[in-house]
Amino acid sequence: MSEIRSDYLVIGSGIAGLSFALKVAEFGTVNIITKAHLDDTNTALAQGGVAAVISADDDIESHVRDTHIAGAGLCHEDAVDVMVSEAPRRIRELLDYGVPFDLNMDGGYDLAREGGHSRYRILHVADETGRSIQEVLIRKVRENPNITIYEEHMAVELITDHHVLNNLQSAFNICFGAYVLDERNEDVRIFRADYIMLASGGASRVYLHTTNPNVATGDGIAMAYRAGVRIANMEFVQFHPTALYNPGNPPFLISEACRGFGAYLRNGSGERFMEKYDNRLELAPRDIVARAIDAECKSRGDACAYLDMTHLPGKKVLSHFPNITAQCREQLRIDISKELIPVVPAAHYVCGGIMTNLNGQTSMHNLFAAGETAHTGVHGANRLASNSLLEALVFAHRAAKRVIEKKRNIFNNVYIPDWDDTDVTNQQEWRLVRNNRSELQTIMWDYVGIVRSTVHLNRALRRMSTLYDEIEDYYRRTRINKDMLELRNLSAVAYLIVRSALRRSESRGLHYMSDYPEKDDKFLKDTII
């Protein structure tokens, strides 16, 4: 089996992976692998925008303070300071690339405000900011002669000293690349590089109801965990308060920018209820709003809550939110300027992930991580709205700068063995095993959701351990394919979330325990596995 070599290997094609690739491509060859297509990412679905201090009415201290308040005491001060202070420079880069952020009537940027923000600081492109950024970055990587793109290629495992130890007795805790499945012919190939960037996105597909695309199965986090890389704070999963309630269909995100624009939340009787839960009303942080909707629906027996924009100028509503307008009209025949939008919370964003330092370096040599895959310490126990795209930009840039400065890998002569599947069997059991995916997602939704308890978490852990063992056994005996790999990765991520949640006997941010409803300062630290 021939190796596919490059100076840099990027796993993932969202904002973190593509922006990193563009920067290191000036100094070497880059291979980008993505298991679907370049635009099939969480980035492309991001509606709200990018938070940055660019207005004279705003300041760095306010953005830093808002981030820490949302993060409920667990944000790393140095990481937040770096992200917020470097944000304006990264925004200028996007502008130079050609991202057309919306302007107001005066020719300045049309800044929005979202939950948890004390100022208007969200740059956006209508309600499809992520899509606009994704398209610009894709165009630039396709134009770059130093970048080669491998679509429908899925990373199977990181290649570490575990694989080559007999050939390299002196090297430990080093990543050399990845075994990668070419999905079209189900052939596993060696992708080798001096430096590897894991930017494979989120993991919210571990839940039954999620705003994430099908690709968000936590592949990077699961691979890093299996390779012995440190993982942190997986108990903090953000549930977006407002996904479109349309039973039988995948949840569609109703942007937080709607509430920033002035929308109200109402219950089934038409009552505005957020005043019972937080004095910031609809603009409270996401964890508070999601729990409020959950509590309101459970106490009343309602299937959903409602987002009300009917009191706002109709033409402005339709022009500011064209994508949401179209989706509500297409799916439910709702005119959002005149009718209420039914909404429910859905799993949205994983605040934990692969631990990195301020330069994207993981606990393994030559392995970097950025974007939702990474835990930089920025988000703490709850991510502030529109800090996600910003975090990806800032820390992908810092990772690129770091690897450019470093010396190249000195282990280029290491022999990496071919992928060995000579003893595997066929997939006769696959029909039985694939049912584990829906069972896993249901367990996570029922027992490890917005409100948790020790009893429910232990029940989830028992059932998850059985599923995990079944899936690992099947994986070892079977020729792999994309579905099998995703199921394996989901089971690892679910296991990490449950284990992490059981180690935090308090309620903080996105982790709410009904039997430990208060914060406890002895847990004022990261949960590291």
3-class DSSP string for 477-500: HECCCHHHHHHHHHHHHHHHHHHH
Are 393 and 372 a contacting pair, CB within 8 Å?
A: no
Q: At 345, list the tokens.
A: 């919370």
Cα separation of 116 and 215, whole Å? 29
Q: In angstroms, what CA-CA distances link 113 with 119, 310, 331, 431, 465?
A: 6, 19, 27, 47, 42
Q: Measuring CA to CA, which residue among 396, 412, 246, 388 is closest to residue 330?
A: 246
Residue 60: Cβ within 10 Å count: 13
Are 486 and 217 a contacting pair, CB within 8 Å?
A: yes
Are 21 and 195 a contacting pair, CB within 8 Å?
A: no
In this structure, which long-range contacts are made by residues 104-109, counting pairs with CB atoms below 8 Å and at least 24 apart in sequence? 108/55, 109/54, 109/55
Are 368 and 360 a contacting pair, CB within 8 Å?
A: yes
* Pairing between β-strand 305-308 and β-strand 374-375 as defined by DSSP bridges: unpaired
- ∠ CA 30-28-361, rounded to 5°: 70
| 286 a catalytic residue | yes
| Dihedral pair phi/psi, residue 34, rounded to 5° | -145, 135
**Catalytic residue, candidates 286, 383, 398, 504:** 286
DSSP string over 92-144: HHHHHHT----B-TTSSB--B--TT-SS--EE-STT-HHHHHHHHHHHHHHH-
- Evaluate the CA torsion angle 17, 387, 110, 126 in order and state its sign: positive
Count of positions (residues) in the chain: 529
Are 306 and 343 a contacting pair, CB within 8 Å?
A: yes
Q: Is 227 left (phi over 0), alpha (psi -120 to 50) or beta?
A: alpha
Find the helix or strand (DSSP H, E) in which 161 lies.
helix 161-164
Distance between first and last Cα of the chain:
35
Active-site positions? Answer: 286
